[in-house]
Structure 1
């Protein structure tokens, strides 16, 4: 398994809390700050080459996410936020205790209020403000209902589930069941 890639760019260098976790194959470049117990998982990219990216404590950025900022549009992720698999966050503000559902997109200048849920596949268009404790869905995303106390408990439980798995994640080591054949090797069926 490849190592993660953490690098300085012209705009700045990453600041990673000692309790944070960057998975193998994740990429963190430029002015990215990771708070205590925050995590960036496999195949995710956080690239802060135009403005800062700040990921608050106890937040998780799951596999395959793309995080970026633009001039005048830093990306800020608050405390206890879950950024689901394959999410794109671009120059937005995500307040505390938010769940950004899998495959959704949040664009420049958007703000997601505390205690909110962005449904899977939603697209939050530029400069949209989602009020606190809202559930948004659709393309473009619109408020479909108010977030309940049960929703807030789910949001917090999801974030906590990633925080508690960090000790085990730090112990992951590559396992190769068998060596790969040399390039150009042919098998019995004639296929490489």
Structure 2
């Protein structure tokens, strides 16, 4: 992991959070308890703030950024951000899910248990409602998620907390 202060402000990481080798955290970035940032992610809080809540995960190769003087990025608790996602100047409420290679642009909000499908692009200013699935480029409402799908997504966030603990232990054994 590499932590980079920017203009005198450096990342703040809860001791229980996991940041994988190769991840880059720059500037005003805060990671909450049991959150995880995986291999080769970039979280660049250089011109606005990025917050990642408890038990949320930013999976391999994802980029999280902000919009100067307009939009920080808020990732609340128990959020899943899939591999290679781009999260930019938006709000991801608790239990939301961004699929693999999903893109969430400026001033978007994904409400609790909302989901952006893999490969989808949510244009600026859009809002995914609670429990909704949006798909496509540009993304559009597809349907309501089933209770089973919501439960599976919620279990995925908990699974990443345990997986992060295993990675931390494995990496500590290599030193």
* TM category, shorter: over 0.9
Give the Cα separation in 1 of the matches to 2:89 and 2:35.
19
Question: Hey, what does 2:161 align to over in structure 1?
Answer: 163
Name the structure with the higher strand share. 2
Give the Cα separation in 2 of the matches to 1:158 and 1:114.
15
How big is the shift at 1:147?
1.6
Pairing partner for 2:53 from 53, 56, 61: 56
Is the Cα–Cα contact under 8 Å of residues 73 and 90 in structure 2 kept in the other structure?
A: yes
Give CA-to-partner distance per residue, 1:115-136, whole Å, 9 cap, x none.
1111000000001111111000
* Shift >2 Å, 4+ stretches: 171-176
- Aligned partner of residue 170 in structure 2, secondary structure: coil
- Aligned partner of residue 134 in structure 2, secondary structure: strand
- Aligned partner of residue 165 in structure 1, secondary structure: helix
Structure 1 residues 69-108: aligned runs within 5 Å: 69-71=66-68, 72-108=70-106
Q: Does 1:19 align with 2:16?
A: yes
Distance 1:174 1:67, change over 3 A: same
Is the Cα–Cα contact under 8 Å of residues 83 and 101 in structure 1 kept in the other structure?
A: yes
TM-score (structure 2 length as normaliser): 0.95
Is the Cα–Cα contact under 8 Å of residues 11 and 51 in structure 1 kept in the other structure?
A: no
Structure 1 residues 1-192: aligned runs within 5 Å: 4-10=1-7, 12-71=9-68, 72-173=70-171
Q: What residue ranges of structure 2 are gaps of 5+ in the alignment? A: none
TM-score (structure 1 length as normaliser): 0.87
Is the Cα–Cα contact under 8 Å of residues 33 and 55 in structure 1 kept in the other structure?
A: yes
Q: CA RMSD in A?
A: 1.6
Matched length: 173
